[in-house]
A and B are shown apart, each in its own frame.
Chain A
Amino acid sequence: MVFPSLSLFDLCQWLEHTPLATTINESLWLFPVIEGSHILALPLSVGMIVIFDLRLLGLAFRGGRITDQFLRWSKFGFAVMLTTGVLLFISQADKAYGNRFFRTKMLLLLVMGINAAVYQFMFYPKMAQWDSAGKTPAGAKLCAALSLVVWIGVIVCGRTMAYEF
């Protein structure tokens, strides 16, 4: 039995020639609408996380206990982000593959995933206690600071990659 040798690049080329990718690329309005949705879902996804981070760092909402709400809303935003992002990638996989900024963006998203997991397991379970007491653990603040910087990096890379397509 012979297995065809498949590289990541072959996979990207195959993706770009799937019927779904062709449909997006041949339509006059599908790509603009998907890309517009990807960008305008930023406030609901990254925006909510940024506000949440600012709260953890003690820079916004010093009074109330309103943090959980933002995390719940951001899940809708990230659902839109992931769906539209995957569609955008499929339609231009070939070009995205070699793009430095796209690669950096993916790497930053991986860092973000690890950071979110650390927060989820280490600090989130007892958040109600330390949040209402106004005593944010230093580790949680570190997660928030990292999150702020990395999300801005994701936006910068996402915007800049389009200039090198």
Chain B
Amino acid sequence: MFFLSLFHWCATWAPIVLVRDSKYGMPAVQSVHLTGLTVFLATMLILDLRLAGVGNRESPLSSLARQLRPWMAGAASMVILSGIFIFLATPDKYLSSHPFRVKMALLCCAILFHFAVLRRFVAAEASSRPRRFNVMVALVSLTLWFSVGWAGRAIAFIP
């Protein structure tokens, strides 16, 4: 398997070994993952709650989305890059983990839903559609993203 040998080669790459085998290396990378997650999910909450008509109603949806975008993208990069690092430090641990597979599947669904549906919903003003559609899309979006988080937490508890 090409990918498997690539992962194993990465796990022996000097910078990864240095961080993994140092005392506070992994907690530090995990902290970056958590800090990024905090900001990313906060921006998603603000956007989805506004779409559902809860709070921040005085600012137009599309302008709120535009103002949130750099922070959302920046935080997402923090989470993804630190996540890849954590995975490559001990690839076998994650490849054999069931919650990890669920997490990746949920992550794909969340990303797909974000670009295929949510992006379109926040581009136009919320009042242009019946409110129940907006609420439904916001609920699906938040459920997907928070499920990714729960699946991530489950890696520590379920084999």
Chain A interface residues (CB < 8 Å from chain B): 32, 35-36, 39-40, 42-44, 46-48, 50-51, 54, 60-66, 69-70, 72-73, 152, 155-156, 159-160, 163
Contacts and interface: CB of A to CB of B under 8 A. Distances in A.
Interface string B51-71: 000011011000110011001
Contact of A47 (B28, B41, B63): B41
A51 B50 CA distance: 15
A50 B42 contact: yes
Q: Is the interface of B mostly helix, strand, loop or mixed?
A: helix
A39 B149 contact: yes
B30 A43 contact: no
8 contacts: A40-B149, A47-B43, A48-B45, A64-B63, A155-B31, A156-B28, A160-B24, A160-B31
Interface string B28-49: 1011001101111111111001
B150 interface: yes
Interface of B: 24, 26-28, 30-31, 34-35, 37-46, 49, 55-56, 58-59, 63-64, 67-68, 71, 146, 149-150, 153-154, 156-157
Contacts of A35: 153
B35 A152 contact: yes
Q: Please name the 9 residue pairs, one residue from A and one from B, whose CB atoms are nearest each other, closest first.
A: A47-B42, A43-B41, A160-B27, A43-B42, A156-B31, A36-B153, A42-B38, A64-B59, A32-B157
A163 B27 contact: yes
Q: Is the interface of A mostly helix, strand, loop or mixed?
A: helix
A163 B80 CA distance: 22
A32 B64 CA distance: 35
Given A39-B153, A155-B34, A159-B27, A65 B42 contact: no
Contacts of A72: 55
B67 A159 contact: no
